[in-house]
Amino acid sequence: MSKYEVAEPHVLGPEVVVPCCPPIAAGELSVPDAKRMAVMFKALSDPVRLRLFSKVASHPAGEACVCDIMDVGVSQPTVSHHLKKLREAGLLTSERRGTWVYYRVAPSVVAAMSAMLDLRPAAAGS
């Protein structure tokens, strides 16, 4: 698996990994790659989603119950909606245990997003 493989949102679900995407400075993005990347960046384009994402990413246990992270000033259904968007974009994975759903960051997807923003020309072939 190359370092540019991340989850394909919507089509395959967050657990299935397909090739995506080259560093943004490596050349002109293809239309399909641009569409895939836009979905991931869109997931982080909302301040409440970013705060929820950071709460999961920084949680000591490496995962967070929705009950741990819902103090972001919006209703529980809104929290659930935002967590669903993050999951659909492949940035979080989730698992139901008993009453609650537990969330984890998908580290390979987030690392791939970080690599996409690598501006060094050599990164394209490394």
Query: Counting contacts by CB under 8 A, is residue 54 touching a copy of itself?
Result: yes
Task: Note whether 78 binds a copy of itself by CB under 8 A.
Answer: no
Q: Determine if 38 is a binding residue for a copy of itself (CB under 8 A).
A: yes
The residue within the footprint of a copy of itself, chosen from 51, 63, 94, 101 (CB under 8 A), is 51
What is the size of the binding site for a copy of itself (CB under 8 A)?
A: 36
Q: Are 108 and 17 in contact (CB under 8 A)?
A: yes
Is residue 74 near a copy of itself by the rule CB under 8 A?
no
Helix, strand and coil percent figures for the chain, each rounded to 5? 45, 15, 40
Q: How far is CA 2 from the centre of its chain?
A: 18
Specify whether the CB–CB gap between 95 and 102 falls below 8 A.
Answer: yes
Taking the complex as a whole, the smallest distance from the CB of residue 95 to a copy of itself amounts, in Å, to 19
**120 φ, ψ to 5°?**
-70, 125
Quick one: tokens of 104? 């984890």
Q: Which residues bind a copy of itself (CB under 8 A)?
A: 24-29, 31, 34-35, 37-38, 41-42, 44-51, 53-55, 57-58, 105, 107, 110-111, 113-115, 117-119
